[in-house]
Amino acid sequence: MYLQLIEKTLRNGLQALILVPEISLTPQTLGRFERRFAVPIVTLHSGLTEHQRSTNWVACYNGSAAIIIGTRSSVFAPMLRPGLIIVDEEHDISYKQQDGFRYSARDIAVIRGRWENIPVVLGSATPSLESLHNVRLGKYQLSSLPERATGAEREQYQLIDTRYSNSRTFLDKPMTDAIGKALQSGNQVLIMINRRGYAPVLYCNECQWIAPCEHCDARLTVHQKQAVLRCHHCGFQTDLPKTCANCRQHSLTPVGEGTQRIEESLNNLFTGYPVLRVDSDSTKSKHAMQNLFEQINLGKPAILVGTQLLAKGHHFAHVTMVVVLELDSGLMSSDYRSLEKIGQLIIQAGGRSGRESKKGKVFLPTAFPEHRELNLLTQKDYLEFANTLLIQRQQYGLPPFYFHGIVRAESRSKNKALQYLDSLRKATANAGSTEILGPVLPAMEKRVGYYRAQLLIVSIGRAELHRAMLQIIETAKRIKTSTVRWSLDVDPYDLY
């Protein structure tokens, strides 16, 4: 459908802008479009050199680029003859910039479309609740593709009850049998876990000490190959200690599973089959990602282990079995968006499988096999699941029915951050239907050496929220401080 719309745009002599969520998807998208369209195509993303980027930017500006493919910030690319904007995988949270200038590229695309008077297409197999809500309000028009693009059957989802399993890992007998069978039939298996590194924590068996980050309220992750502990929030790194920092005993063990540890277990269990790990550690170098995907696309039996990087738009024609791990932390999370994200992740991961003639099967180990929404998702479909979540959001007064804004303050001193927000709140009159909640400390109080506190602003309407935020900006300008940094975030993705 995208291709037909782009064709029409090009026939009218106009430019098409296509946003993709992930930089690793740009070569793939570029290749697909180059094969189809004989027009100048440019890409815009952070992986380009300064020179490439400015050349491509000029090509957008002077109209010589007919198709522009880019990540988040390319929504601002100047176009001489704009004709169409496509936001692919519109549900993806990487469209939201969460620091510095905070914006949602998807929402800006919609506004830009209105200003330029051109069509905007938000594409996804798992649309965000915001977009589905906008369809119901009549702001967006829904076009459904009845079948998967390749005509393959919908994959099957199976919840695996982990409550009575004796095995300490997900690799119990039924699971290893299923993986072995898939490999022997010449197929590939995809195992997804949203945690890179070897193990999430280093734990002392004697005194229960867990290696912490010195700069954040976070635990360090074990990276076995490099023999280091690393903080995934601030990048702090230290050598893997031999003894416990608290009781000085030789009693440290890595606990839990990350991509590296799963890779190791699978290598031991399935000798003779390659285990390919795809996460931000294994794909750091420029061509690593491409090399991995080339190897996967050869189609030889193999096990793919990775983070949700693997679920983003890549096509794996030879994968017939998918396992999604660590669902339960998402099912039980205090973040109200987490269930939506888990649902999207499951369907996106499942969608990687069974392309072409091979039907896929998705295994979901969980200690909550009766979970109502999870069953809706796996037995019915994503839309039923999403509609149920929308009803809940409305009942609890959450977005997209209500509007959120966050004022964050960061300081070396916890009290200064809290006091600053307190004075902001007191000086800002509670306006009618808008509520200001806080200040509170998020679950992770300290990050990269700074304490973080926040105010949550809840409004019944967009205009009311903007009014309250403007009032806060005015107040913040008056209250001078050199020890507190503050920032605003409208429609925040992360409340914690």
Chain residues binding Zn ion by CB under 5 A are 204, 206-207, 209, 213, 215-216, 231, 233-234, 236, 244, 246-247
How far is the CA of 335 from the CAs of 171, 331, 403, 432, 455, in angstroms? 29, 10, 16, 27, 16
Q: In terms of DSSP bridges, do strands 188-192 and 319-324 run parallel, antiparallel, or are they unpaired?
A: parallel
- Min dist CB 240 to Zn ion, Å, is 15
- Min dist CB 168 to Zn ion, Å, is 21
Q: In terms of DSSP bridges, do strands 450-459 and 403-411 run parallel, antiparallel, or are they unpaired?
A: antiparallel
- Min dist CB 440 to Zn ion, Å, is 21
Q: Is 87 helix (H, G, I), strand (E, B) or coil?
A: strand
- Min dist CB 250 to Zn ion, Å, is 10
- Min dist CB 412 to Zn ion, Å, is 15
Q: Which tokens in the block code for residue 66?
A: 């007919």
Task: Name the residue type at position 357.
Answer: S
Show Cβ contacts of residue 460 under 8 Å, excluding neighbours closer than 6 positions. 402, 403, 433, 434
Nearer to Zn ion, 123 or 212 (CB): 212
- Min dist CB 495 to Zn ion, Å, is 20
- Min dist CB 208 to Zn ion, Å, is 7
Q: Which residues pair with 68 in a beta bridge?
A: 17, 42
Nearer to Zn ion, 152 or 244 (CB): 244
In the numeric block, the tokens 């369907």 are attached to 347
Length of the chain in residues, anyone? 496
Nearer to Zn ion, 250 or 372 (CB): 250
Nearest C-alpha neighbor of 346 from the set 356, 371, 357: 371
CA angle 34/104/282 to nearest 5° reads: 60
R_g of the chain, CA atoms, integer Å = 24
Helix runs in 37-116, H state only: 50-61, 105-116
- Min dist CB 277 to Zn ion, Å, is 23
Nearer to Zn ion, 139 or 412 (CB): 412
Nearer to Zn ion, 1 or 207 (CB): 207
Nearer to Zn ion, 192 or 202 (CB): 202
HSE at residue 221, side-chain half, CA atoms within 13 A, is: 22
Nearest C-alpha neighbor of 77 from the set 88, 61, 63: 61
- Min dist CB 94 to Zn ion, Å, is 21
Nearer to Zn ion, 215 or 359 (CB): 215
Helices (H) and strands (E) in the chain, counts: 14, 23
Q: Which tokens in the block code for residue 159?
A: 């919840």
- Min dist CB 77 to Zn ion, Å, is 34
Nearer to Zn ion, 140 or 236 (CB): 236
| DSSP one-letter code for 210 | B
Nearer to Zn ion, 142 or 247 (CB): 247
Q: Is the dihedral of CA 394, 491, 465, 432 positive or negative?
A: positive
Nearer to Zn ion, 246 or 265 (CB): 246
Q: Which tokens in the block code for residue 329?
A: 């932390």
In the numeric block, the tokens 């890549």 are attached to 314
Task: Name the residue type at position 377.
Answer: L
